[in-house]
Chain A
Amino acid sequence: MYDFAYQKPASVADAVKLLGDDPDAKALAGGQTFIPVLKQRLAKPSTIVDLGKLDLRGITVGADTVTIGAMTTHAAVASSEELKAKIPGLQELASWIGDEAVRHRGTMGGSLANNDPAACYPSAALAMDATIKTDRREIKADDFFQGMFTTALEPNEIITSITFKVPQKSAYEKFRNPASRYAIVGVFVAQHANGVRLAITGAGQGGVFRHTAFEQALSSNFSPDAIAGIATPPDDLNGDIHASAEYRAHLINVVARRAVAKAR
């Protein structure tokens, strides 16, 4: 990696200031994407602002919502019994990210801010109508994800917590890239009192997206059969050496049906 200056501020305000004062400064959360990028010299930040000292960890389970600190690791999410009882799909999703080492470093806020089109968490945020809280405002998940590696965040804006609406039932199902184990198609389905939300990650050219045709069908009949006949056009889907757009289109249906079948 290239040389850089290193800062580890003690407050969110200090972190925001450091990032704001230097347009080439970058925030470091868990670093599970960012550090490999640095090691391969694909980024050359002047300063790294390590968010590790900020008090942004923890899972708060309320009656209708669950709020998770942005610096909470995947391992913490995966091992929370309280969360497992409340939103089993989210707990399961976290348990499948990367490997044990990645899960003990990687954070929910880092994943959402990066918005990798094959990352798992963005689908959960969309499906559970999450509110992403930052140092300066609240952003609805529907407004937050703006295309591959692009979000509504301003350059020096830091996610502090994420609040999910607790669904009646939820599930995450992931068809993994055989090599990287990222999602080729990941489906988060959440059945809410006012309807079903279902988001797809890994497949879309523009990153995570809600599958409205599935949502409508499932809202009136929450069963795999309800979506069995709904095809997804491959036009806006990714194709690569692991899966063509047509295969992804097909897998979206298969994976979504499996997610619905196991939702609880």
Chain B
Amino acid sequence: MGFEGIGASVRRKEDARFLSGRGHYTDDINRPGQLYAFIKRSDRPHARIASLQTAQAAAAPGVVAVFTGQDMAADNVGGLPCGWQIHNKDGSPMAEPPHPVIAIGKVRHVGDPVAVVIAESRQAAKDAAELLEIEYDDLPAVATTLDALEPGAPTVHDDVAGNVCYDWHIGDKGTVDAAFARAAKVVKLELTNNRLVPNAMEPRAALGDFDTSSGDFTLYTTSQNPHVIRLLMGAFVLHIPENKLRVVAPDVGGGFGSKIYHYAEEAIVTWAAGKLRRPVKWTAERNESFMSDAHGRDHVSTAEMALDADGTFLALRVATIANMGAYLSTFAPCVPTYLYATLLAGVYKTPAIYAEVKAVFTNTVPVDAYRGAGRPEATYLLERLVDVIAHDTGMDRVEIRRKNFIPADAFPYQTPVALQYDSGNYEMTLKAALDAADFAGFEARRAAARAKGKLRGIGISTYLEACGIAPSAVVGSLGARAGLYEVANVKVHPTGSITVYTGTHSHGQGHETTFAQLISDQMGVPIDQIEVVHGDTSKIPFGMGTYGSRSLAVGGSAMVKAMDKIIAKGKKIAAHLMEAAVEDIEFDKGTFKVAGTDKSKTLTDISLAAYVPHNYPIEELEPGLDETAFYDPKNFTFPGGCHVCELEIDQETGVVEMVNFVAVDDVGRVINPMIVEGQVQGGVAQGIGQALLENAIYDSNGQLLSGSFMDYTMPRANDLVNISVGTEITLCTHNPLGVKGCGEVGAIGSPPAVMNAVIDALKEYGIRHIDMPATGAKLWEILQANRPKMAAE
């Protein structure tokens, strides 16, 4: 066994099963007597259901049942709940229209469930679904973010006037307006953050099971947070108490946020299993994923910076319209507010910030958190704005950043938008990234590329994000309807092996390895004797799941707390066995020693004594070595860093070719450098995807044009380039590990670096801004439109 504690690049324990096809996913689970559900979905963006006849479908061969929204409502099934309440500027609560599990009366987006057919086979269910007789009265639809606010726009929900879910703000408007009034210069930028489809490799699936003997329900589902699903579905939708409902999220093939939410299909299969007394399985087809997984991003914003004469930021004013889609997905309202506008200080000491956010309903798939969730939108806005400031003022884009950085000695730093940063060093990551990317030598490379007809550009992004979510009292005061602590149960078994039960969930992050390293480091047990268990509400005390780069900062900290309890108890046992005072027992990597002597006991000696308490302080200590801890974080964590992108544009076709990408991130203490590198590379790949390729396009009638991989451009390996990852760290000051989180930094920091590089490549064309994605077709049109101007100059 080599070194496998904190800081070791241990190969991921879970990869052997994933890479050899032995992963165990929801669709791999089959229960005796299992039925199959097929969801008939609306092909209309907006329509009244004039008539829905199910008799023919119900009579088709193999069909066991057909259910509609009316059937579920009649059985007292509730609507899908929203987990976060935002308040309007005037203090009133946001509009929260009902979200029926299956549409009742109206359909509001293409993909909205209309009925479920349950049959002995998938084929039979699908065949029968074609016999459903549905008559729609089409209604005018509103498809785009901006169209939602047009006067006279169709309304998605009858009782939500003007399609406004909420009109929220943060910051001190008066101070900001005053700063703009005295500014030497104001730079304004309008920009959109393109809508994305998450496209996890594993499509969603759900299997409901009902035990006729005990009356217990079990839901197997592709979820990032099974306890949250149990809570939401049990309490609000199906009214099943926690003791009768088990939720299992086995191996899950990617989530990126899209598997956080409680989805209709989970409630449908669980409820139907109870009705039919048989297991019911649903597995999404890829085209269903496009129209039923929550989408991401989709903002339209105006940003203005007030500057003094030397380029110091005086105040930032932002107005954003955020698309919620047709219904509120579980955490949708918090994404464009508390996960977005609170990040608008970024790495800069802008003294005054005011942001207002209007969230709107449209006839599109619901939008919710997607890798980064709000922070990529804030970062993109800010880092594009800073480059535009450099463009408009003629100042150097690196120097203007340096001038406005929060200095390394200013922490803890209170921003004007609620957050207090605990640690960071933005100059350190900037310098490391510029050096690694040979930023200083770029102009020579630009000239060389020019000689072969390529427009080369380099772009930087100095970003910050808030993750490790989050202190329960803080988020509660901001509208969260849940706490955001995390839970760990550490069991040291009699012979010294360890099982740790975590409320976080791994769906690609490598928790089985990282957490084992963390336990190994503290407890001195080799990682192959440590099992990390997650994803089953019947095994794990409780947990809030994995999202917002929280697993290590919050879940890992809970493990540290649980281990502290184990060690404290172990010391008492060791003191008894070695006839020493507890105060004299020292613990280090698996060994309990009596200070100043050569007397010692191993962890195994102690665990054996704990479970076979023949010689044991039984009067004052319970047997066993099994401790649980709940950890509620004291603050968010604040990873940050610098991303540098170098690329070339083919002048003839407009196509961008990546040349180099450097990420230098401060993610706090690193447990496994190889996993951090992989996490950052994956995030950057998604960020490059957003910047250059991906775009969920609705036509003006609400049809999703990019509704399959034929038209939705996922980044492929040959669209990318080697992504060089470095870390330069400052420790988080408020969690026991000093960790910050690495899961989202890649997707947060990279899009503006790419776009800044694209626009830098077009320097001579006088381009100030281009919206994502910078496709070849779009850049070619820009080159065409600007070429005559160049010729005239």
Contacts and interface: CB of A to CB of B under 8 A. Distances in A.
Interface stretch (B481-489, B590-598, B772-780): B772-780
A180 interface: yes
Interface string B676-707: 00000000000000000100010000000110
B710 A179 contact: yes
Interface stretch (A136-144, A192-200, A209-217, A242-250): A242-250
Given A244-B777, A247-B777, A251-B653, A178 B693 contact: yes
Interface string A220-264: 000000000000000000000111100100110010000000000
A175 B709 contact: no
A242 B712 contact: no
A241 B709 contact: no
Interface centre among A2, A244, A247, A254 (most CB of B within 10 A): A247
Contacts of B777: 242-244, 247
Contacts of B712: 179
Nearest to B654: A247
A125 to B, nearest CB: 24
Nearest to B693: A178
A175 B655 CA distance: 10
Q: Main SS of chain A's interface residues?
A: loop
B781 A179 contact: no
Contact of B780 (A40, A241, A247): A247
Interface in B702-721: 705-706, 709-714, 719
Contact of A241 (B127, B653, B711): B711
B710 A250 contact: no
Contacts of A2: 127
Contacts of B781: 244, 247
A195 B400 CA distance: 61
Nearest to A185: B653
Interface in A152-204: 175, 178-180
A73 to B, nearest CB: 22
A104 B705 CA distance: 30
B188 to A, nearest CB: 29
B622 interface: no
A97 B283 CA distance: 30
Contacts of B399: none
Contacts of B705: 241
Contact of A242 (B126, B653, B711, B714): B711
A69 B711 CA distance: 32
A251 B777 CA distance: 10
A2 B124 CA distance: 10
Nearest to A251: B653
A42 B397 CA distance: 53
Given A241-B697, A254-B652, A254-B653, A180 B709 contact: yes
Which of A178, A243, A254 has the most chain B CB atoms closer than 10 A to its own CB?
A: A178
A242 B711 CA distance: 8
A117 to B, nearest CB: 14
Interface string A34-65: 00000011000000000000000000000000
A122 B777 CA distance: 25
Contacts of A243: 777
A178 B653 contact: no
Interface in B102-130: 123, 126-127
Contacts of B713: 178-179
A179 B780 contact: no
B706 A241 contact: yes
Given A241-B697, A254-B653, A178 B776 contact: yes
Contacts of B776: 178
Nearest to B719: A178
Nearest to A247: B777
Contacts of A175: 653
A182 to B, nearest CB: 8
Nearest to B711: A179
B319 to A, nearest CB: 28
A180 B780 contact: no
A179 B653 contact: no
A244 B719 CA distance: 22
Contacts of B697: 241
Contacts of A178: 693, 713, 719, 775-776
Nearest to A175: B653
Nearest to A178: B713
Nearest to A255: B653
Interface in A1-57: 2-3, 40-41
Contacts of A242: 711, 775, 777
B350 to A, nearest CB: 37
A179 B290 CA distance: 15
Interface in B274-317: 287
A254 to B, nearest CB: 5
Contacts of A241: 697, 705-706, 711
Contacts of B127: 2
B618 to A, nearest CB: 65
A251 B775 CA distance: 14
A241 B776 CA distance: 12
Nearest to B776: A178
B43 to A, nearest CB: 13
Contacts of B711: 179-180, 241-242
B780 A250 contact: yes
B746 to A, nearest CB: 21
Contacts of B714: 179
Contacts of B287: 40
A254 B710 CA distance: 24
Contact of B709 (A3, A179, A244, A247): A179
B655 to A, nearest CB: 8
B759 to A, nearest CB: 20
Nearest to B699: A241
A179 B689 CA distance: 11
A2 B129 CA distance: 13
Contacts of A250: 780
Nearest to B127: A2
A97 B712 CA distance: 19
Nearest to A248: B777
Contacts of A180: 709-711
A41 B710 CA distance: 17
A5 to B, nearest CB: 15
Contacts of B780: 247, 250
Contacts of A3: 123
A127 B775 CA distance: 30
A3 B709 CA distance: 26
A242 B705 CA distance: 11
A242 B712 CA distance: 10
Interface in B571-596: none
A262 B211 CA distance: 68
A123 to B, nearest CB: 19
Nearest to A242: B777
A242 B652 CA distance: 16
B363 to A, nearest CB: 19
Nearest to B714: A179
A242 B709 CA distance: 13
B225 to A, nearest CB: 31
Contacts of B709: 179-180
A138 to B, nearest CB: 34
Contacts of B710: 179-180
Nearest to B705: A241
Nearest to A253: B652
Interface string B753-793: 00000000000000000000001110011000000000000
Interface of A: 2-3, 40-41, 175, 178-180, 241-244, 247, 250-251, 254
Given A178-B693, A178-B719, A179-B706, 8 more contacts: A3-B123, A179-B710, A179-B712, A241-B705, A241-B706, A244-B781, A247-B777, A247-B780
Closest 9 A/B residue pairs (Cβ): A179-B713, A180-B710, A178-B713, A254-B652, A243-B777, A247-B777, A179-B711, A241-B705, A241-B697
13 contacts: A40-B287, A41-B126, A175-B653, A179-B693, A179-B706, A179-B709, A179-B711, A179-B714, A180-B709, A180-B711, A241-B711, A242-B711, A244-B777
